[in-house]
């Protein structure tokens, strides 16, 4: 399957949604998104880690050091209360956007 570019602002929503149920380290976040999307969305380190840092600075996520399944130290990220609120807003906004785009694509 071919990779696609994601809309600006969508990366934050995908990351927030991915860590919504359990904390994960960066590589696991990227891998999970890649798996869920059948490899259509592949997030590189150059996009992922700046996004995680930015979201941590905004208070949407919290990072704690832990040990990976490969016995390596890594930061594990989890959603904060502010992050859950942000995610809700982004999902609602994205739903409105995709609905509007669908209407344009279906118009005669």
- Angle formed by the axes of helices 81-106 and 10-18, nearest 10°: 130
Identify whether the C-beta of residue 39 lies closer than 8 Å to the C-beta of residue 1: yes
Write out the residue range of the structural domain in which residue 14 sits.
10-106
Asked if the structure places residue 54 within a domain, the reply is: yes
Residue-level pLDDT at 19:
98
Residue 33 lies in a domain: yes
Any domain includes 3: no
Look at residue 85 and tell me if it is in a domain.
yes
For residue 9, the model assigns a pLDDT of 75
pLDDT tens per residue, range 59-83: 999 999 999 989 999 999 999 999 9
Domain assignment present for 96: yes
1 within domain boundaries: no
Please tell me the predicted confidence (pLDDT) of residue 2.
Answer: 61
Number of domains in the chain: 1
Average pLDDT in the chain: 93
Look at residue 7 in the predicted model and tell me its pLDDT.
63
pTM beyond cutoff 0.85: yes
pLDDT averaged over 10-residue windows placed end to end, the chain, 108 residues: 67 96 96 95 93 97 94 96 97 94 92
Residue 76 sits in a domain whose CATH number is: 1.10.10.10
Q: Is residue 70 part of a domain?
A: yes
**In this structure, is residue 4 part of a structural domain?**
no
DSSP the chain: ----PPPTTHHHHHHHHHTSSS-EEHHHHHHHHHHHTTTS----HHHHHHHHHHHHHTTSEEEEEEE-TTS-EEEEEEE-HHHHHHHHHHHHHHHHHHHHHHHHHH--
């Amino acid at each position: 399957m071919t990779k696609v570019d994601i809309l600006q602002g969508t990366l934050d929503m995908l990351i927030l949604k991915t860590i919504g149920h359990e904390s994960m380290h960066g590589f696991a976040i990227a891998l999970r998104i890649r798996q869920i999307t059948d490899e259509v969305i592949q997030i590189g380190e150059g996009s992922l880690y700046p996004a995680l840092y930015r979201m941590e600075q905004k208070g949407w996520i919290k990072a704690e050091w832990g040990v990976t399944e490969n016995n390596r130290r890594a930061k594990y990220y989890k959603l904060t209360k502010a992050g859950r609120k942000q995610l809700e807003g982004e999902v609602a906004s994205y739903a409105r956007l995709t609905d509007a785009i669908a209407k344009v694509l279906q118009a005669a």
